[in-house]
Structure 1
Amino acid sequence: MLYKYKSDYEKIAMGLLSFIPDLKEIANLKTEIEWYEADSSHVLYLWKNENRDFVGVLGTEINEDFIMVRQIAVTPTERSQGLCFLMLDNLAELYPDKKIMGNIEASSLIASTIMKNEATPNVKELLFKVPDFEGPLDLLLHLIKKNQMDIYDIPMAEITTQYIDYLHQLKEMQLDIAGEYLVTASMLVNIKSKMLLPNEQASLQTDDEVEDPRESLVQQLLLHQTFQTAAQNMRGYADERMKLYPREQALVPAGASLGKLDPDSCDITALQKAFARLMLKRKAQKPVMRKIESERYFLKDQITRVEKLVKQAKEPIEFEDLFAANAALELVVTTFLALLELVKQGAIRATQEDILGPIKLVSGEVNAV
Protein backbone atom coordinates (compact mmCIF):
# COMPACT_ATOMS: atom_id res chain seq x y z
CA MET A 1 0.00 0.00 0.00
CA LEU A 2 1.22 3.51 -0.81
CA TYR A 3 1.95 5.91 2.04
CA LYS A 4 2.53 9.60 1.43
CA TYR A 5 5.97 10.78 2.48
CA LYS A 6 6.43 12.75 5.67
CA SER A 7 9.53 13.94 7.52
CA ASP A 8 9.49 10.90 9.84
CA TYR A 9 10.22 8.74 6.78
CA GLU A 10 13.19 10.80 5.55
CA LYS A 11 15.91 8.20 6.16
CA ILE A 12 13.74 5.39 4.77
CA ALA A 13 12.92 7.43 1.67
CA MET A 14 16.55 8.33 1.07
CA GLY A 15 17.55 4.68 1.42
CA LEU A 16 14.98 3.59 -1.18
CA LEU A 17 15.80 6.44 -3.55
CA SER A 18 19.49 5.47 -3.36
CA PHE A 19 18.67 2.39 -5.49
CA ILE A 20 18.24 4.82 -8.41
CA PRO A 21 21.69 5.21 -10.10
CA ASP A 22 21.48 9.01 -10.38
CA LEU A 23 20.64 9.39 -6.69
CA LYS A 24 23.42 7.38 -5.04
CA GLU A 25 25.29 10.47 -3.87
CA ILE A 26 24.06 11.81 -0.52
CA ALA A 27 23.99 15.38 -1.89
CA ASN A 28 21.69 14.32 -4.76
CA LEU A 29 19.41 12.49 -2.33
CA LYS A 30 19.05 15.55 -0.11
CA THR A 31 18.32 17.74 -3.14
CA GLU A 32 15.65 15.30 -4.31
CA ILE A 33 13.97 15.19 -0.88
CA GLU A 34 14.02 19.00 -0.71
CA TRP A 35 12.37 19.11 -4.16
CA TYR A 36 9.45 17.03 -2.91
CA GLU A 37 9.12 19.09 0.27
CA ALA A 38 9.15 22.42 -1.62
CA ASP A 39 5.80 22.06 -3.44
CA SER A 40 2.55 20.32 -2.55
CA SER A 41 2.25 19.07 -6.15
CA HIS A 42 5.47 17.11 -5.71
CA VAL A 43 4.40 13.95 -3.91
CA LEU A 44 6.62 11.08 -2.83
CA TYR A 45 5.00 7.76 -1.93
CA LEU A 46 6.47 4.82 -0.02
CA TRP A 47 5.22 1.26 -0.52
CA LYS A 48 4.69 -0.94 2.54
CA ASN A 49 4.47 -4.70 1.99
CA GLU A 50 2.48 -7.33 3.89
CA ASN A 51 5.19 -7.52 6.56
CA ARG A 52 4.73 -3.78 7.24
CA ASP A 53 8.16 -3.01 5.79
CA PHE A 54 8.83 -0.16 3.37
CA VAL A 55 10.22 -1.78 0.22
CA GLY A 56 9.43 0.64 -2.60
CA VAL A 57 9.33 4.32 -3.48
CA LEU A 58 7.29 6.20 -6.10
CA GLY A 59 8.05 9.83 -6.93
CA THR A 60 5.29 11.82 -8.66
CA GLU A 61 4.43 15.29 -9.87
CA ILE A 62 0.69 16.03 -9.75
CA ASN A 63 -0.62 18.15 -12.63
CA GLU A 64 -4.12 19.28 -13.53
CA ASP A 65 -4.87 16.53 -16.05
CA PHE A 66 -2.18 13.93 -15.43
CA ILE A 67 0.34 12.54 -12.97
CA MET A 68 4.00 12.31 -13.97
CA VAL A 69 5.87 9.40 -12.38
CA ARG A 70 9.43 10.68 -11.89
CA GLN A 71 10.96 7.72 -10.04
CA ILE A 72 10.01 4.19 -9.17
CA ALA A 73 12.35 1.91 -7.24
CA VAL A 74 12.16 -1.12 -4.99
CA THR A 75 14.62 -2.97 -2.78
CA PRO A 76 16.67 -5.74 -4.47
CA THR A 77 14.89 -8.46 -2.47
CA GLU A 78 11.49 -7.24 -3.65
CA ARG A 79 12.48 -6.31 -7.21
CA SER A 80 9.89 -7.67 -9.62
CA GLN A 81 7.43 -6.48 -12.23
CA GLY A 82 4.53 -7.55 -10.01
CA LEU A 83 5.42 -5.08 -7.25
CA CYS A 84 5.78 -2.25 -9.77
CA PHE A 85 2.34 -3.15 -11.16
CA LEU A 86 0.86 -2.97 -7.64
CA MET A 87 2.43 0.41 -6.96
CA LEU A 88 1.21 1.87 -10.27
CA ASP A 89 -2.26 0.36 -9.89
CA ASN A 90 -2.54 1.76 -6.36
CA LEU A 91 -1.52 5.18 -7.69
CA ALA A 92 -4.21 4.94 -10.39
CA GLU A 93 -6.79 4.17 -7.72
CA LEU A 94 -5.75 7.24 -5.73
CA TYR A 95 -6.23 9.48 -8.81
CA PRO A 96 -9.04 7.92 -10.88
CA ASP A 97 -9.64 11.12 -12.88
CA LYS A 98 -6.05 11.67 -14.00
CA LYS A 99 -3.91 10.02 -16.63
CA ILE A 100 -0.66 8.53 -15.43
CA MET A 101 2.50 9.21 -17.40
CA GLY A 102 6.04 8.36 -16.42
CA ASN A 103 9.62 7.39 -17.10
CA ILE A 104 10.36 3.67 -16.63
CA GLU A 105 13.59 2.21 -18.00
CA ALA A 106 12.51 -1.38 -18.66
CA SER A 107 10.59 -1.69 -21.92
CA SER A 108 9.22 -5.05 -20.83
CA LEU A 109 7.60 -3.39 -17.82
CA ILE A 110 6.08 -0.69 -20.05
CA ALA A 111 4.64 -3.18 -22.51
CA SER A 112 3.45 -5.58 -19.80
CA THR A 113 1.76 -2.81 -17.84
CA ILE A 114 -0.11 -1.55 -20.89
CA MET A 115 -1.23 -5.05 -21.90
CA LYS A 116 -2.26 -5.75 -18.31
CA ASN A 117 -4.40 -2.61 -18.21
CA GLU A 118 -5.99 -3.45 -21.57
CA ALA A 119 -6.96 -6.84 -20.15
CA THR A 120 -8.45 -5.19 -17.05
CA PRO A 121 -10.57 -2.18 -18.17
CA ASN A 122 -11.31 -1.10 -14.60
CA VAL A 123 -7.65 -0.21 -14.09
CA LYS A 124 -6.49 3.27 -15.10
CA GLU A 125 -4.64 3.45 -18.44
CA LEU A 126 -0.89 4.10 -18.18
CA LEU A 127 1.02 6.10 -20.79
CA PHE A 128 4.84 6.17 -21.00
CA LYS A 129 6.64 8.71 -23.16
CA VAL A 130 10.31 7.77 -22.84
CA PRO A 131 11.66 4.78 -24.86
CA ASP A 132 14.28 2.58 -23.28
CA PHE A 133 16.90 2.81 -26.05
CA GLU A 134 19.32 5.70 -26.37
CA GLY A 135 19.03 6.15 -30.10
CA PRO A 136 18.55 3.82 -33.09
CA LEU A 137 22.07 2.35 -32.94
CA ASP A 138 21.38 1.23 -29.37
CA LEU A 139 18.22 -0.52 -30.58
CA LEU A 140 20.08 -2.17 -33.45
CA LEU A 141 22.80 -3.48 -31.11
CA HIS A 142 20.10 -4.86 -28.83
CA LEU A 143 18.45 -6.73 -31.70
CA ILE A 144 21.81 -8.08 -32.93
CA LYS A 145 22.72 -9.39 -29.47
CA LYS A 146 19.24 -10.75 -28.85
CA ASN A 147 19.32 -12.76 -32.08
CA GLN A 148 23.01 -13.70 -31.66
CA MET A 149 23.91 -12.22 -35.04
CA ASP A 150 27.41 -11.58 -36.31
CA ILE A 151 27.89 -7.81 -36.30
CA TYR A 152 30.28 -8.15 -39.28
CA ASP A 153 27.73 -10.15 -41.31
CA ILE A 154 24.32 -8.74 -40.44
CA PRO A 155 21.32 -10.44 -42.13
CA MET A 156 19.71 -7.22 -43.36
CA ALA A 157 16.30 -8.69 -44.21
CA GLU A 158 15.80 -10.08 -40.72
CA ILE A 159 17.22 -7.10 -38.79
CA THR A 160 15.23 -4.59 -40.88
CA THR A 161 11.99 -6.49 -40.29
CA GLN A 162 12.55 -6.65 -36.52
CA TYR A 163 13.57 -2.98 -36.34
CA ILE A 164 10.45 -1.78 -38.18
CA ASP A 165 8.25 -4.12 -36.12
CA TYR A 166 9.64 -2.53 -32.98
CA LEU A 167 8.78 0.96 -34.28
CA HIS A 168 5.24 -0.22 -34.96
CA GLN A 169 5.03 -1.49 -31.37
CA LEU A 170 6.12 1.91 -30.09
CA LYS A 171 3.43 3.58 -32.16
CA GLU A 172 0.77 1.17 -30.90
CA MET A 173 1.82 1.89 -27.30
CA GLN A 174 1.42 5.65 -27.99
CA LEU A 175 5.13 6.31 -27.54
CA ASP A 176 6.77 9.21 -29.36
CA ILE A 177 9.17 8.06 -32.10
CA ALA A 178 12.13 10.35 -32.64
CA GLY A 179 13.05 11.31 -36.21
CA GLU A 180 16.45 9.62 -35.99
CA TYR A 181 14.72 6.23 -35.60
CA LEU A 182 12.85 6.80 -38.86
CA VAL A 183 16.02 7.95 -40.65
CA THR A 184 17.78 4.76 -39.56
CA ALA A 185 14.77 2.71 -40.70
CA SER A 186 15.02 4.22 -44.19
CA MET A 187 18.78 3.51 -44.22
CA LEU A 188 18.14 -0.15 -43.34
CA VAL A 189 15.57 -0.47 -46.11
CA ASN A 190 18.02 1.13 -48.55
CA ILE A 191 20.81 -1.29 -47.60
CA LYS A 192 18.40 -4.23 -47.80
CA SER A 193 17.29 -3.23 -51.29
CA LYS A 194 20.90 -2.87 -52.49
CA MET A 195 21.66 -6.39 -51.31
CA LEU A 196 18.54 -7.88 -52.90
CA LEU A 197 18.68 -6.16 -56.31
CA PRO A 198 21.19 -7.49 -58.86
CA ASN A 199 24.17 -5.30 -59.66
CA GLU A 200 25.66 -5.90 -63.15
CA GLN A 201 28.82 -3.91 -62.39
CA ALA A 202 29.39 -5.82 -59.15
CA SER A 203 29.07 -9.15 -60.98
CA LEU A 204 32.14 -8.28 -63.06
CA GLN A 205 34.26 -7.58 -59.97
CA THR A 206 35.96 -10.02 -57.62
CA ASP A 207 34.75 -10.56 -54.07
CA ASP A 208 37.54 -8.36 -52.69
CA GLU A 209 36.62 -5.47 -54.99
CA VAL A 210 32.86 -5.44 -54.31
CA GLU A 211 31.86 -2.83 -51.73
CA ASP A 212 29.58 -4.18 -49.02
CA PRO A 213 26.61 -1.78 -48.56
CA ARG A 214 26.57 -2.73 -44.88
CA GLU A 215 30.11 -1.44 -44.27
CA SER A 216 29.07 2.06 -43.14
CA LEU A 217 26.43 0.66 -40.79
CA VAL A 218 28.86 -1.84 -39.28
CA GLN A 219 31.41 0.91 -38.61
CA GLN A 220 28.77 3.04 -36.89
CA LEU A 221 27.65 0.11 -34.76
CA LEU A 222 31.20 -0.79 -33.76
CA LEU A 223 31.94 2.81 -32.76
CA HIS A 224 28.71 3.03 -30.79
CA GLN A 225 29.49 -0.28 -29.10
CA THR A 226 32.94 1.00 -28.13
CA PHE A 227 31.51 4.08 -26.45
CA GLN A 228 28.78 1.98 -24.88
CA THR A 229 31.37 -0.34 -23.33
CA ALA A 230 33.43 2.62 -22.16
CA ALA A 231 30.36 4.16 -20.52
CA GLN A 232 29.60 0.89 -18.72
CA ASN A 233 33.19 0.73 -17.47
CA MET A 234 32.98 4.33 -16.26
CA ARG A 235 29.77 3.54 -14.40
CA GLY A 236 31.55 0.59 -12.80
CA TYR A 237 34.45 2.82 -11.77
CA ALA A 238 31.98 5.33 -10.35
CA ASP A 239 30.24 2.60 -8.33
CA GLU A 240 33.59 1.42 -6.95
CA ARG A 241 34.57 4.99 -6.09
CA MET A 242 31.32 5.47 -4.20
CA LYS A 243 32.38 2.66 -1.87
CA LEU A 244 35.43 4.67 -0.80
CA TYR A 245 35.26 7.39 1.83
CA PRO A 246 38.33 9.63 1.97
CA ARG A 247 39.61 10.48 5.40
CA GLU A 248 39.26 14.14 6.27
CA GLN A 249 42.34 16.11 7.20
CA ALA A 250 43.03 15.65 10.89
CA LEU A 251 43.20 18.69 13.13
CA VAL A 252 46.41 19.50 14.93
CA PRO A 253 46.23 18.15 18.53
CA ALA A 254 45.73 20.87 21.11
CA GLY A 255 48.98 20.08 22.93
CA ALA A 256 51.12 19.73 19.82
CA SER A 257 54.10 22.02 19.45
CA LEU A 258 54.57 23.36 15.92
CA GLY A 259 58.21 24.33 15.88
CA LYS A 260 59.76 26.85 13.52
CA LEU A 261 63.31 27.28 12.33
CA ASP A 262 65.45 29.70 14.28
CA PRO A 263 65.75 32.84 12.12
CA ASP A 264 69.42 33.11 13.14
CA SER A 265 70.28 29.55 12.04
CA CYS A 266 70.88 28.24 8.51
CA ASP A 267 67.86 27.30 6.44
CA ILE A 268 66.63 23.92 5.17
CA THR A 269 68.22 24.49 1.78
CA ALA A 270 71.69 24.56 3.33
CA LEU A 271 70.99 21.30 5.16
CA GLN A 272 69.75 19.71 1.94
CA LYS A 273 72.89 20.77 0.08
CA ALA A 274 75.09 19.44 2.86
CA PHE A 275 73.25 16.12 2.78
CA ALA A 276 73.62 15.96 -1.02
CA ARG A 277 77.39 16.48 -0.71
CA LEU A 278 77.55 13.77 1.95
CA MET A 279 75.71 11.30 -0.31
CA LEU A 280 78.06 12.08 -3.21
CA LYS A 281 81.05 11.25 -1.01
CA ARG A 282 79.45 7.96 0.01
CA LYS A 283 78.48 6.94 -3.52
CA ALA A 284 79.88 3.53 -4.27
CA GLN A 285 82.11 2.99 -7.29
CA LYS A 286 80.55 -0.38 -8.09
CA PRO A 287 76.90 -1.37 -8.64
CA VAL A 288 75.02 -1.61 -5.39
CA MET A 289 73.50 -5.02 -4.63
CA ARG A 290 70.57 -4.84 -2.25
CA LYS A 291 68.01 -7.16 -0.76
CA ILE A 292 64.70 -6.23 0.82
CA GLU A 293 64.81 -6.48 4.59
CA SER A 294 62.50 -5.54 7.42
CA GLU A 295 62.82 -2.03 8.79
CA ARG A 296 65.83 -1.76 11.11
CA TYR A 297 66.03 1.95 11.90
CA PHE A 298 63.21 4.03 13.36
CA LEU A 299 62.83 7.79 13.27
CA LYS A 300 61.94 8.07 16.95
CA ASP A 301 65.08 6.18 18.00
CA GLN A 302 67.28 8.39 15.82
CA ILE A 303 65.67 11.56 17.18
CA THR A 304 66.57 10.44 20.70
CA ARG A 305 70.10 9.43 19.69
CA VAL A 306 70.93 12.62 17.76
CA GLU A 307 69.47 14.91 20.42
CA LYS A 308 71.38 13.13 23.16
CA LEU A 309 74.61 13.21 21.12
CA VAL A 310 74.39 16.96 20.50
CA LYS A 311 73.37 17.81 24.07
CA GLN A 312 76.22 15.81 25.61
CA ALA A 313 78.85 17.26 23.27
CA LYS A 314 81.07 19.92 24.86
CA GLU A 315 81.62 21.58 21.50
CA PRO A 316 79.43 22.04 18.40
CA ILE A 317 79.20 18.89 16.28
CA GLU A 318 79.78 19.14 12.57
CA PHE A 319 76.98 17.89 10.33
CA GLU A 320 79.04 15.13 8.69
CA ASP A 321 80.17 13.75 12.08
CA LEU A 322 76.62 12.48 12.65
CA PHE A 323 77.11 9.84 9.96
CA ALA A 324 79.62 7.00 10.29
CA ALA A 325 81.61 6.24 7.15
CA ASN A 326 80.32 2.66 6.91
CA ALA A 327 76.72 3.38 7.99
CA ALA A 328 73.95 1.81 5.94
CA LEU A 329 72.02 4.07 3.59
CA GLU A 330 68.80 3.49 5.55
CA LEU A 331 70.53 4.68 8.73
CA VAL A 332 71.92 7.78 6.97
CA VAL A 333 68.48 8.79 5.64
CA THR A 334 66.74 8.13 8.95
CA THR A 335 69.37 10.15 10.83
CA PHE A 336 68.97 13.07 8.43
CA LEU A 337 65.18 13.02 8.85
CA ALA A 338 65.66 12.99 12.63
CA LEU A 339 67.94 16.01 12.37
CA LEU A 340 65.37 17.91 10.29
CA GLU A 341 62.68 17.17 12.86
CA LEU A 342 64.91 18.33 15.74
CA VAL A 343 65.80 21.55 13.91
CA LYS A 344 62.13 22.21 13.18
CA GLN A 345 61.18 21.70 16.84
CA GLY A 346 64.03 23.87 18.08
CA ALA A 347 65.79 21.07 19.95
CA ILE A 348 68.89 21.60 17.78
CA ARG A 349 70.24 24.72 16.13
CA ALA A 350 72.21 24.52 12.88
CA THR A 351 74.69 27.30 12.08
CA GLN A 352 76.89 27.98 9.05
CA GLU A 353 79.38 30.83 9.15
CA ASP A 354 80.53 30.70 5.52
CA ILE A 355 78.81 29.76 2.27
CA LEU A 356 79.48 26.05 1.58
CA GLY A 357 81.30 25.99 4.91
CA PRO A 358 80.77 23.30 7.56
CA ILE A 359 77.39 23.21 9.30
CA LYS A 360 77.69 23.02 13.06
CA LEU A 361 75.01 21.67 15.36
CA VAL A 362 74.38 22.88 18.92
CA SER A 363 71.65 22.11 21.40
CA GLY A 364 68.52 24.26 21.43
CA GLU A 365 66.12 25.06 24.26
CA VAL A 366 63.32 22.56 23.47
CA ASN A 367 63.27 18.88 24.37
CA ALA A 368 61.97 16.86 21.42
CA VAL A 369 61.05 13.66 23.31
Structure 2
Amino acid sequence: MPYNVKLDAFEGPLDLLLHLINTYEIDIYDIPVSVISEQYMNYIHTMKELKLDVASEYLVMAATLLAIKSKMLLPKQEADPIDQQMGFEVEEDPREDLVNRLIEYRKFKQAALHLKEKEAARSLVYTREPADLSAFGKNEETVNPVSNVTIYDMLEAMQKLFAKKEKNLPKRTTIERQEIPIELRMSQIINELRLENGRKRFSELFHHHNKEHMVVTFLAILELMKTKEITCNQDGNFSEIFISVTGEK
Protein backbone atom coordinates (compact mmCIF):
# COMPACT_ATOMS: atom_id res chain seq x y z
CA MET A 1 0.00 0.00 0.00
CA PRO A 2 1.38 3.50 -0.80
CA TYR A 3 2.33 5.67 2.17
CA ASN A 4 0.32 8.88 1.76
CA VAL A 5 1.00 11.97 3.88
CA LYS A 6 -1.17 15.10 4.09
CA LEU A 7 0.53 18.14 5.60
CA ASP A 8 -1.43 20.72 7.58
CA ALA A 9 1.38 23.26 6.95
CA PHE A 10 -0.13 24.00 3.52
CA GLU A 11 -2.71 26.73 3.90
CA GLY A 12 -3.74 26.78 0.24
CA PRO A 13 -2.47 27.84 -3.19
CA LEU A 14 -2.54 31.56 -2.35
CA ASP A 15 -0.23 30.86 0.58
CA LEU A 16 2.19 29.06 -1.76
CA LEU A 17 2.07 31.95 -4.26
CA LEU A 18 2.81 34.48 -1.50
CA HIS A 19 5.75 32.36 -0.38
CA LEU A 20 7.16 32.37 -3.93
CA ILE A 21 6.62 36.14 -4.26
CA ASN A 22 8.44 36.80 -0.98
CA THR A 23 11.24 34.32 -1.70
CA TYR A 24 12.04 35.71 -5.14
CA GLU A 25 11.37 39.33 -4.07
CA ILE A 26 8.70 39.87 -6.72
CA ASP A 27 6.54 42.99 -6.89
CA ILE A 28 3.03 41.75 -6.09
CA TYR A 29 1.55 44.49 -8.34
CA ASP A 30 3.65 43.39 -11.34
CA ILE A 31 3.91 39.60 -11.14
CA PRO A 32 6.01 37.93 -13.89
CA VAL A 33 3.48 35.17 -14.56
CA SER A 34 5.90 33.08 -16.60
CA VAL A 35 8.41 32.88 -13.73
CA ILE A 36 5.89 32.41 -10.93
CA SER A 37 3.92 29.73 -12.79
CA GLU A 38 7.11 27.76 -13.51
CA GLN A 39 8.14 27.82 -9.83
CA TYR A 40 4.57 26.95 -8.76
CA MET A 41 4.49 23.92 -11.08
CA ASN A 42 7.88 22.79 -9.73
CA TYR A 43 6.35 22.60 -6.25
CA ILE A 44 3.30 20.71 -7.53
CA HIS A 45 5.49 18.17 -9.37
CA THR A 46 7.69 17.72 -6.29
CA MET A 47 4.64 17.09 -4.11
CA LYS A 48 3.44 14.45 -6.57
CA GLU A 49 6.92 12.86 -6.72
CA LEU A 50 6.82 12.51 -2.93
CA LYS A 51 3.30 11.04 -3.11
CA LEU A 52 1.90 13.86 -0.99
CA ASP A 53 -1.83 14.56 -1.15
CA VAL A 54 -2.30 17.48 -3.56
CA ALA A 55 -5.67 19.18 -3.00
CA SER A 56 -7.76 20.06 -6.03
CA GLU A 57 -7.52 23.78 -5.21
CA TYR A 58 -3.78 23.66 -5.98
CA LEU A 59 -4.52 22.20 -9.42
CA VAL A 60 -7.21 24.84 -10.04
CA MET A 61 -4.67 27.57 -9.26
CA ALA A 62 -2.16 25.91 -11.61
CA ALA A 63 -4.74 26.03 -14.40
CA THR A 64 -5.49 29.68 -13.56
CA LEU A 65 -1.80 30.60 -13.79
CA LEU A 66 -1.46 28.86 -17.16
CA ALA A 67 -4.58 30.66 -18.44
CA ILE A 68 -3.17 34.04 -17.35
CA LYS A 69 0.18 33.14 -18.91
CA SER A 70 -1.58 32.37 -22.22
CA LYS A 71 -3.45 35.70 -22.16
CA MET A 72 -0.20 37.56 -21.45
CA LEU A 73 1.29 36.08 -24.63
CA LEU A 74 -1.47 37.55 -26.80
CA PRO A 75 -0.62 40.87 -28.52
CA LYS A 76 -1.95 43.84 -26.59
CA GLN A 77 -4.19 46.39 -28.27
CA GLU A 78 -3.46 50.00 -27.48
CA ALA A 79 -6.36 51.81 -25.86
CA ASP A 80 -8.10 54.29 -28.15
CA PRO A 81 -8.66 57.66 -26.37
CA ILE A 82 -11.94 58.11 -28.26
CA ASP A 83 -13.21 54.72 -27.08
CA GLN A 84 -12.27 55.62 -23.51
CA GLN A 85 -14.18 58.91 -23.72
CA MET A 86 -17.24 57.14 -25.09
CA GLY A 87 -17.18 54.65 -22.21
CA PHE A 88 -16.14 51.54 -24.13
CA GLU A 89 -14.49 48.82 -22.06
CA VAL A 90 -10.70 48.88 -22.04
CA GLU A 91 -8.82 45.58 -22.00
CA GLU A 92 -7.90 44.77 -18.38
CA ASP A 93 -4.69 43.19 -17.13
CA PRO A 94 -5.39 39.41 -16.85
CA ARG A 95 -3.37 39.39 -13.60
CA GLU A 96 -5.62 41.95 -11.89
CA ASP A 97 -8.04 39.48 -10.27
CA LEU A 98 -5.20 37.28 -8.97
CA VAL A 99 -3.31 40.29 -7.59
CA ASN A 100 -6.43 41.49 -5.76
CA ARG A 101 -6.95 38.03 -4.24
CA LEU A 102 -3.32 37.87 -3.12
CA ILE A 103 -3.48 41.32 -1.52
CA GLU A 104 -6.66 40.42 0.36
CA TYR A 105 -5.18 37.09 1.46
CA ARG A 106 -2.03 38.82 2.67
CA LYS A 107 -4.13 41.25 4.74
CA PHE A 108 -6.00 38.40 6.41
CA LYS A 109 -2.79 36.45 6.99
CA GLN A 110 -1.11 39.46 8.63
CA ALA A 111 -4.22 40.03 10.74
CA ALA A 112 -4.21 36.37 11.80
CA LEU A 113 -0.53 36.64 12.75
CA HIS A 114 -1.26 39.78 14.77
CA LEU A 115 -4.11 38.03 16.60
CA LYS A 116 -1.89 35.03 17.28
CA GLU A 117 0.73 37.30 18.85
CA LYS A 118 -2.00 38.90 20.95
CA GLU A 119 -3.16 35.44 22.01
CA ALA A 120 0.38 34.43 22.98
CA ALA A 121 0.86 37.62 24.99
CA ARG A 122 -2.53 37.21 26.71
CA SER A 123 -1.73 33.60 27.62
CA LEU A 124 1.11 34.92 29.79
CA VAL A 125 -1.28 36.99 31.92
CA TYR A 126 -2.60 35.38 35.10
CA THR A 127 -5.30 36.66 37.45
CA ARG A 128 -4.36 34.67 40.54
CA GLU A 129 -1.37 34.14 42.79
CA PRO A 130 1.03 31.43 41.59
CA ALA A 131 0.42 28.07 43.24
CA ASP A 132 3.14 25.76 44.51
CA LEU A 133 3.49 23.08 41.81
CA SER A 134 6.82 21.66 42.98
CA ALA A 135 5.14 18.37 43.84
CA PHE A 136 4.28 17.80 40.23
CA GLY A 137 7.84 18.20 38.98
CA LYS A 138 9.07 20.36 36.14
CA ASN A 139 7.25 20.22 32.84
CA GLU A 140 9.45 19.62 29.84
CA GLU A 141 9.73 22.56 27.48
CA THR A 142 7.76 22.02 24.30
CA VAL A 143 10.11 21.74 21.34
CA ASN A 144 9.16 23.12 17.97
CA PRO A 145 10.25 20.38 15.53
CA VAL A 146 10.49 22.72 12.53
CA SER A 147 11.91 25.86 14.20
CA ASN A 148 12.41 28.44 11.44
CA VAL A 149 12.08 25.89 8.60
CA THR A 150 8.85 25.83 6.56
CA ILE A 151 7.44 22.99 4.46
CA TYR A 152 8.32 25.06 1.38
CA ASP A 153 12.00 25.05 2.44
CA MET A 154 11.86 21.24 2.78
CA LEU A 155 10.31 20.86 -0.69
CA GLU A 156 12.88 23.22 -2.20
CA ALA A 157 15.69 21.15 -0.64
CA MET A 158 14.15 17.99 -2.15
CA GLN A 159 13.95 19.66 -5.59
CA LYS A 160 17.69 20.37 -5.45
CA LEU A 161 18.46 16.81 -4.30
CA PHE A 162 16.36 15.25 -7.07
CA ALA A 163 18.13 17.41 -9.68
CA LYS A 164 21.59 16.65 -8.27
CA LYS A 165 21.02 12.89 -8.01
CA GLU A 166 19.52 12.71 -11.51
CA LYS A 167 22.53 14.57 -12.94
CA ASN A 168 24.98 12.17 -11.29
CA LEU A 169 23.19 8.98 -12.34
CA PRO A 170 25.29 6.68 -14.56
CA LYS A 171 24.15 6.21 -18.15
CA ARG A 172 23.77 2.46 -17.56
CA THR A 173 22.59 1.00 -14.31
CA THR A 174 20.84 -2.05 -12.89
CA ILE A 175 17.50 -1.29 -11.33
CA GLU A 176 16.80 -3.21 -8.14
CA ARG A 177 13.50 -2.82 -6.34
CA GLN A 178 13.93 -2.69 -2.61
CA GLU A 179 11.04 -2.06 -0.26
CA ILE A 180 12.06 -0.03 2.79
CA PRO A 181 9.55 0.30 5.65
CA ILE A 182 9.10 3.86 6.94
CA GLU A 183 9.65 2.71 10.54
CA LEU A 184 13.00 1.11 9.64
CA ARG A 185 14.22 4.25 7.83
CA MET A 186 13.15 6.39 10.81
CA SER A 187 15.29 4.24 13.11
CA GLN A 188 18.22 4.42 10.67
CA ILE A 189 18.02 8.23 10.52
CA ILE A 190 18.09 8.53 14.33
CA ASN A 191 21.13 6.23 14.46
CA GLU A 192 22.89 8.19 11.70
CA LEU A 193 22.32 11.45 13.54
CA ARG A 194 23.63 10.08 16.84
CA LEU A 195 26.79 8.85 15.11
CA GLU A 196 27.33 12.48 14.01
CA ASN A 197 26.90 13.97 17.51
CA GLY A 198 23.14 14.25 16.99
CA ARG A 199 23.30 16.71 14.06
CA LYS A 200 23.65 16.35 10.29
CA ARG A 201 22.99 18.23 7.05
CA PHE A 202 19.64 17.49 5.38
CA SER A 203 21.35 16.52 2.10
CA GLU A 204 23.71 14.06 3.84
CA LEU A 205 20.78 11.83 4.76
CA PHE A 206 20.12 11.18 1.05
CA HIS A 207 23.21 9.13 0.21
CA HIS A 208 21.37 6.76 -2.17
CA HIS A 209 20.69 7.41 -5.87
CA ASN A 210 17.52 5.29 -5.73
CA LYS A 211 14.48 7.60 -5.97
CA GLU A 212 12.27 5.27 -3.91
CA HIS A 213 14.85 5.34 -1.11
CA MET A 214 14.97 9.17 -1.29
CA VAL A 215 11.18 9.41 -1.06
CA VAL A 216 11.05 7.03 1.91
CA THR A 217 13.81 9.04 3.61
CA PHE A 218 11.89 12.30 3.13
CA LEU A 219 8.67 10.78 4.49
CA ALA A 220 10.59 9.34 7.45
CA ILE A 221 12.00 12.80 8.23
CA LEU A 222 8.46 14.29 8.14
CA GLU A 223 7.21 11.56 10.48
CA LEU A 224 10.11 12.16 12.91
CA MET A 225 9.31 15.90 12.85
CA LYS A 226 5.67 15.10 13.58
CA THR A 227 6.61 12.97 16.61
CA LYS A 228 9.13 15.67 17.68
CA GLU A 229 12.05 13.22 17.67
CA ILE A 230 14.09 15.55 15.46
CA THR A 231 14.30 19.31 14.84
CA CYS A 232 15.14 21.25 11.67
CA ASN A 233 16.99 24.56 11.52
CA GLN A 234 17.96 26.91 8.69
CA ASP A 235 20.06 30.05 9.11
CA GLY A 236 18.52 31.93 6.14
CA ASN A 237 16.82 31.68 2.74
CA PHE A 238 18.42 29.12 0.40
CA SER A 239 20.93 28.04 3.11
CA GLU A 240 21.51 24.42 4.14
CA ILE A 241 18.94 22.77 6.43
CA PHE A 242 20.34 20.97 9.48
CA ILE A 243 18.60 17.99 11.11
CA SER A 244 19.28 17.22 14.77
CA VAL A 245 17.96 14.82 17.39
CA THR A 246 15.62 16.60 19.79
CA GLY A 247 17.38 17.43 23.05
CA GLU A 248 20.87 16.72 21.65
CA LYS A 249 23.41 19.19 20.27
Q: TM-score range by the shorter chain?
A: 0.3 to 0.5
> With structure 1 as the length reference, what TM-score do the two structures score?
0.31
The structure with the largest alpha-carbon Rg is 1
Higher relative contact order, chain-length normalized (CA < 8 Å, sep 6+): 2
TM-score, normalised to structure 2, is: 0.46
Instruction: Compare the two structures and name the one with the higher strand fraction.
Output: 1
